[in-house]
Chains A and B, each alone.
Chain A
Amino acid sequence: MSRIVVGPFNRVEGDLEVTLELDAGRIASAQVNSPLFRGFEQTLVGRAPLDALAIVPRICGICSVAQSAAAAEALAGAMGIVPTVNGKISRKLITATENLADHLTHFYLFFMPDFARPAYAGRAWHESAVRRFTAVKGDAAAEVLPARAGFLRLMGFLAGRWPHTLAIQPGGSTRAITAGERIRLLAQLREFRSFLEKRLFGDALASVAQLASKEALLAWSDGRLGDFPAFLSAATDLGLDKTGGAYDAFLSYGAYDLFPAGTWQAGQAAVFDPVAIDEDTSSAWLVSGQPRHPAQGETVVDANKPDAYTWCKAPRYAGQPFEVGALARQIIACHPLALDLVQRDGASVMARVVARLLELALVLPAMEAWVQALQPGEPFCAHGTMPDDATGSGLVEAARGSLGHWLSIKRGRIERYQIIAPTTWNFSPRDASNQPGPLEKALVGLPAGEGAPPTVQHVVRSFDPCMVCTVH
């Protein structure tokens, strides 16, 4: 047995270290360490409740809007108000814009450059991967940045700016869209659709959305020009369609009124029960105790705790580790392609990437319909008053999975604020009963160490981790 420490694990959002125990060139066990502590839950305590809207986006530069939306939902619950119809649509558009932009950023800038590594020289697809996906210098990077910036122009209209907007309010949005701006929004969506269809998929979004099995996917992809087909041929060649599974237990809070909340475990779908969530601090540099539901959660630093190895808590659902993200959302939404991939081979690097790109094909047309449903002239924001004592929770889906905020207000101030971010689920450490988190489980058995192929790199990045959120 030997032990190696891999870090800095870059092209993830934030800082990540992975400690691997190796046995004959294979990973026998893994520990995932988030080496940065941010302390936002403490920052929020004692503030005016609505200050959360200015503070929580700054937890994360890549899921900034998801943080805003979770806070706005929790505060709306505390105030006992619901957003206006326009406000709801606006919030869906803003969160979908961030989530789809994140999927794009992840695929092109964080994930694909690993296929251009010299370790893959000689593979049939390698030369074209080098030309297209080399970090910073590949020709895809030059095309994807303007497409991303153009798509994020939606934020200029809907949210003032991205990241870190204060437009999302408990009652909806501060920004009423005019009739003329609706036309601009549609044009911007068409521009993005054009990029996706021409460059990413090499086909119409509708054709991608209706792919219903792995077999259909690979037949569709065969010989097709496009970055997604290029990924599929490299991924199947490297066996990434059968690599990187964790527990095959999935959780989603539901997104955009389009994808439902639920869980899926051992082939069984079930209703999601928010009471079944708790967080364990056994392996974190935080004071230990019984696992707590986040509505009663505590975050107290214990920097010298023996046997701890991360700043990340271990969230569990009914005591079990669960995987969150686009794949979880699409399985729980019963998309036939996602279901077939997981039922056939288990979760994998390929299934996670496919689910993310599938969401681009599914959500963009929905966004076009939402823009058309906006009613200029009708209110974008409902108003209410904040009670002196209240509680609330906001459960939303960020690009990389389920994000929850739980807050309580006492005497007009925030008394408690607890956050469980998507990567806190996926990259959680061992809990009191020594169950590894999903990534820790997914790494076991993979080749690593001197001379090993970069498989670990693909598996880690397939979760699209956001470490700055994890260690909020």
Chain B
Amino acid sequence: MKVLWLQSGGCGGCTQSMLCSEPRSLFDELRDAGIEFLWHPALSVDSGEEALTLLEDCAEGRLAFDALCIEGAMLRGPNGTGKFHLMAGSGRPLTEWVERLARHAKWVFAIGSCTAYGGFSANTPGNPLEACGLQFDEQTPGGLLGTDFQSAAGLPVINIAGCPTHPGWVVDTLEKVALEGMVATDLDEYGRPLLYAGQLVHHGCARNEYYEFKASAEKQSDLGCLMENLGCKGTQAHADCNLRPWNGSGSCLRGGFACIACTEPGFESPGHAFQETPKLAGIPIGLPTDMPKAWFVALAALSKSATPKRVRNNSVVDHPVVLPAIRKKGGGK
């Protein structure tokens, strides 16, 4: 599978993240799966004229490629001119390049939440950059390519959302497509591959015991659950961050800070400070997905009343002050 990769209104962090792919070297992993970069702005040797010729040949259908990966929001401004990002050397808006290239791609991938939904580029009040995603404008379908767009393989844009994307989300998605293709039922309603978006960040969270007992962190660096006070959206965010570790053993929660739901459209404008949980009458407004409010309230009251001392005391400090008791086995000797 030949992959053509372009970057626009983004930070390049999804590529930097992808290079952390483990355990094998990314390049070996992809090569043996039959995936090669026809051109990648951070990795390929071709520069200037030689790169432009290749891109022009792809855009005109003279040079075949399979997958178009775009990393970064589509900047349509100012006033629809696309001048906020003219591709270097070409004098043409990057949005125009994407539209031309997408017509010839078998598969189109939005790499990262910027590309999928607009992300931080679309976040300034009034959206002066006129930024959007490839096929979404935040939660609203449309974006640069429009609701009707389908790539040659008959799928809409595949949104590998995340800010940044986990290397495994990109590598596994590309390898699945290369190996057996993808169909509409492999994606959720925001176009995200279910192979990682079929989970919640909450699943496998190392702070689960604190969550169960509603033993909440009160300040940054506390060990407790970050949902009640510190803005954590792990119970609502679609991704497998705590099942598929980051950088060997990490995740946002393991790093001690809140999940800000960076795989969700519109995550960049939560309507409250990122590290604070908005509440109504003391109850967090954003409750766990699939959980009716009354159940949550009843369960929270019950579990708070049953919180073991160890869990309660450890939740508000940065290292365990009470260790799990060792229960001696009874019997025989």
- Contact residues in A for B42 (Cβ distance below 8 Å): 10-11, 13, 109-110
**Residues of A in contact with B (beta carbons under 8 Å apart):** 5-11, 13-17, 33, 35-40, 42-43, 46, 48, 50-51, 53-55, 58-62, 64, 105, 109-110, 113-114, 116-117, 134-137, 141-143, 145-146, 148-150, 152-167, 169, 171-176, 178, 301, 303, 376-377, 379-381, 383, 457, 468
- Contact residues in A for B185 (Cβ distance below 8 Å): none
**Contact with A303, one of B15, B22, B78, B245 (Cβ below 8 angstroms):** B78
Residue B199, interface by CB 8 Å: no
C-alpha spacing A117/B246, complex, angstroms: 35
Q: Contacts A7-B88, A166-B255, A174-B255 given; indicate if A54 touches B220 (C-beta within 8 A).
A: no
Task: Choose the segment among B44-52, B60-68, B151-159, B284-292 that binds chain A (4+ C-beta atoms closer than 8 Å).
Answer: B44-52
A58 close to B13 (CB less than 8 A): yes
Query: Chain A CB within 10 Å — which of B37, B87, B256, B260 has the most?
Result: B256
C-alpha spacing A8/B37, complex, angstroms: 17
Q: Contacts A109-B42, A468-B10 given; indicate if A157 touches B249 (C-beta within 8 A).
A: yes
B7 close to A15 (CB less than 8 A): yes
Q: List 12 A-B contacts (CB under 8 A).
A: A10-B51, A36-B85, A43-B120, A54-B275, A58-B13, A149-B21, A154-B247, A163-B17, A171-B220, A176-B319, A178-B319, A383-B220
Give the contacts of B50-109 with A (CB-CB under 8 A): 51-52, 75, 78, 81, 83-91
Residue of A nearest to B47 (CB): A10
A161 close to B221 (CB less than 8 A): no
**Contact with A37, one of B24, B84, B276 (Cβ below 8 angstroms):** B84
**Residues of B in contact with A (beta carbons under 8 Å apart):** 7-17, 19-28, 37, 40-48, 51-52, 75, 78, 81, 83-91, 119-121, 123-125, 128-129, 163-164, 219-221, 245-258, 260, 262, 268, 273-276, 318-319
**Contact with A166, one of B16, B43, B254, B258 (Cβ below 8 angstroms):** B258
C-alpha spacing A157/B87, complex, angstroms: 38
C-alpha spacing A53/B230, complex, angstroms: 14
Residue of A nearest to B122 (CB): A43
A160 close to B88 (CB less than 8 A): no
**Contact with B123, one of A35, A43, A62, A117 (Cβ below 8 angstroms):** A43
Residue of B nearest to A50 (CB): B275
A457 close to B12 (CB less than 8 A): no
CB distance from A254 to the nearest CB of B (A): 25
B47 close to A163 (CB less than 8 A): no
CB distance from B141 to the nearest CB of A (A): 24
B11 close to A160 (CB less than 8 A): no
**Contact with B255, one of A10, A160, A377 (Cβ below 8 angstroms):** A160
Q: Contacts A37-B129, A142-B28, A379-B221 given; indicate if A17 touches B88 (C-beta within 8 A).
A: yes
CB distance from A160 to the nearest CB of B (A): 2
CB distance from A353 to the nearest CB of B (A): 18
**Contact with A8, one of B12, B47, B163, B254 (Cβ below 8 angstroms):** B47
B256 close to A36 (CB less than 8 A): no
B318 close to A380 (CB less than 8 A): yes
CB distance from B83 to the nearest CB of A (A): 6
- Contact residues in A for B254 (Cβ distance below 8 Å): 156, 160, 175
B87 close to A176 (CB less than 8 A): no
- Contact residues in B for A155 (Cβ distance below 8 Å): 246-247, 250
Residue of B nearest to A461 (CB): B47
B85 close to A145 (CB less than 8 A): no
A146 close to B25 (CB less than 8 A): yes
Residue of A nearest to B119 (CB): A58
C-alpha spacing A313/B100, complex, angstroms: 32
B256 close to A174 (CB less than 8 A): yes
CB distance from B245 to the nearest CB of A (A): 7
Residue of B nearest to A47 (CB): B273
B45 close to A134 (CB less than 8 A): yes
**Contact with B164, one of A10, A134, A163 (Cβ below 8 angstroms):** A163
B318 close to A6 (CB less than 8 A): no
CB distance from B123 to the nearest CB of A (A): 5
CB distance from B15 to the nearest CB of A (A): 7
A156 close to B247 (CB less than 8 A): yes
CB distance from A241 to the nearest CB of B (A): 23
The 7 A-B residue pairs with the shortest CB-CB distance, nearest first, are A160-B255, A61-B13, A7-B89, A7-B88, A156-B250, A174-B256, A153-B248
Residue of A nearest to B85 (CB): A36
B20 close to A36 (CB less than 8 A): no
A135 close to B44 (CB less than 8 A): yes
C-alpha spacing A16/B251, complex, angstroms: 33
A159 close to B255 (CB less than 8 A): yes
A149 close to B20 (CB less than 8 A): yes
**Contact with B256, one of A11, A13, A167 (Cβ below 8 angstroms):** A167
B13 close to A54 (CB less than 8 A): no
CB distance from A137 to the nearest CB of B (A): 7
B17 close to A61 (CB less than 8 A): yes
CB distance from A57 to the nearest CB of B (A): 8
Q: Contacts A8-B88, A11-B43 given; indicate if A59 touches B20 (C-beta within 8 A).
A: no
C-alpha spacing A38/B120, complex, angstroms: 9
Q: Contacts A10-B41, A58-B120, A153-B249 given; indicate if A51 touches B13 (C-beta within 8 A).
A: no
B128 close to A42 (CB less than 8 A): yes
C-alpha spacing A231/B141, complex, angstroms: 50
A161 close to B124 (CB less than 8 A): no
- Contact residues in A for B85 (Cβ distance below 8 Å): 15, 35-37
Query: Chain A CB within 10 Å — which of B11, B258, B318 has the most?
Result: B11
Further 9 A-B residue pairs, CB within 8 A, beyond A62-B13, A156-B250: A60-B12, A60-B13, A105-B16, A109-B42, A109-B43, A136-B37, A137-B27, A142-B27, A163-B16
